[in-house]
Amino acid sequence: MIRKFVEQRSGARASETLQLSTLFELNGRGVSILSDTENDKTIVSDLPQELGEEIGPLLRGLDASPGKEMDLKHGARIEGYGVFTFPYGPVTSGIPEAGGFKLVTYGERVLKVIPLINFKKRGVENSVVGREPNDALFLIERSAGNFSASYSSCFVTAIEECLGANVPQQAKWTRAVAIELERIYNHLHVFAREAEAASQNVATYQTSALRERILRVNSKYFAHRYLFGFNRIGGVGIDLSAKDMRTELFRNVREITNEFTKIVEYFLSSRIFLDRLQNTAKLRKNDALSMGAVGPAARGSGIDWDDRVSYPIEPYDEVFVDISTETGCDTMARVMVRIKEIAASVTELQQLLDKMPKDGTFENPRTPYRIDPDFSFCRIETPSGDLIQAVKLTSDGKIEKLHIRPASLANMQAFAKSLEGNVFTDFQFSFESFGLNYADCDR
């Protein structure tokens, strides 16, 4: 199914404004999806005959076999007197998951960063082939727990388009509520980690406590702290139609985010905190574009792309979404984007809860299946950026092909580029500002 903001082209290639987002193989033919960052369009194309070196890491990251780590090497080899490679990870105090890096250095300053991915790859795409979509959903929403609402909503939307399912509006709006709650608690987590890196313990604990309160809101209204299990093919299993419930949900979220605003005001006046973030780990706009950066990482470098506006599935085409960008290109810019997005998510939640339709939460997809003969894909803005899932079903409605391009994989090379020329102690500031998640990257 081709949406009105999607364009089909032949032989489209990445350029200054056309960013390669993902590529995959389908029935022996190559398919690429690109983002027209100037015109807010998604371009679907066959693969150009000549592919540049810049997509090599993307290809290696997607095609790596489970259980074997992969080097994402880029750029020229660094040589010189005293230069050596320092292995960092796969398990360290600065990275909360199993992931690693090779840091090329001559001492304190980092000359080059080579990310190592795939330490925890589980082969999610291949493992769901042949399954019923609802069976596959259980695994997909758990493949990156922090982004569960985004993963599950992206998957069910793509499946529903393949089936031609008539999904109630209320279900789609409920999914958006979950996605915005997910965005808030993830952004709070990033701020807490940045405060921890700056040894600001009070802010770390205060922000972590606010994140915990959002998780309890999730548990109360969606029956799971990390928003597992509410999505279905054809709708949702949560009913937010009661006005008192929606009013209470919003009041709880607003109280939490108001407290966070006070914390932010204090730390934006802290010279110690600002010194650690300003001018740290810069990612120039042209580098962000060429390396396929997404989410707050891209918007912190002045790229005005957000799936909620550029690929607006319902209800994002019916509510106001305030897209925040910064031009500082540094860690501070990426953190400021997240701070502003928390406030914007509160505004979106108010609209979603106030205007939520009441046409029901679930409707079985039409049977017999009306399967789209080609493939369907969906893009959803996760807390760390653009998530793409492409799905093709068999004639009896089972999964024939699933392709996932996560935000963390797209941002891994951009993070590596940003750290060049910085010192070792800048590592955590940069890593957290990109929102990198190895479960997301190594699905």
List pLDDT tens digits, range 102-160: 888 887 888 888 888 887 788 888 899 999 999 999 999 998 888 999 999 999 999 99
- How many Å apart are CA 2 and CA 64, to the nearest integer? 30
- Residue 93, exposed/middle/buried by CB under 10 A (0-12, 13-18, 19+)? exposed
Q: What is the per-residue pLDDT for 79? A: 64
Q: What is the pTM of this model?
A: 0.91
Q: Distance between CA 147 and CA 382 in Å, rounded?
A: 7
* pLDDT score recorded for residue 123: 85
Residue written as token pair 């997607």: 62
The values of phi and psi at residue 33, to 5°, are: -120, 125
Q: How far apart are CA 182 and CA 149, in angstroms?
A: 7
366 half-sphere exposure, CB direction, 13 A CA radius? 11
CA dist list (Å): 140 to 39, 122, 148, 152, 371: 31, 11, 8, 7, 21
Question: With 60 as the cut, is the pLDDT of residue 274 above it?
Answer: yes
Q: Where are the domains of the chain?
A: 6-62, 135-409
Q: Is residue 188 a contact partner of residue 388, using CB atoms and an 8 Å limit? A: no
Which has more pLDDT, 301 or 443?
A: 301
Q: Which of 193-197, 223-227, 326-330 has the lowest mean pLDDT?
A: 193-197
Overall CATH class of domain 135-409: mainly alpha
297-347 pLDDT, tens digit per residue, is 999 999 989 999 999 999 999 999 999 999 999 999 999 999 999 999 999
The reported pLDDT for the residue numbered 1 is 46
Question: Minimal CA–CA distance to 149: which of 124, 187, 177?
Answer: 177
Instruction: With both helix axes pointing from N to C terminus, report the angle between 169-197 and 148-163 in degrees, rounded to the nearest 10.
Output: 150
Kind of pairing, strands 110-117 and 100-105? antiparallel
Could you report the per-residue pLDDT of 380-406, keeping only the tens digit for each?
999 999 999 999 998 888 999 999 999
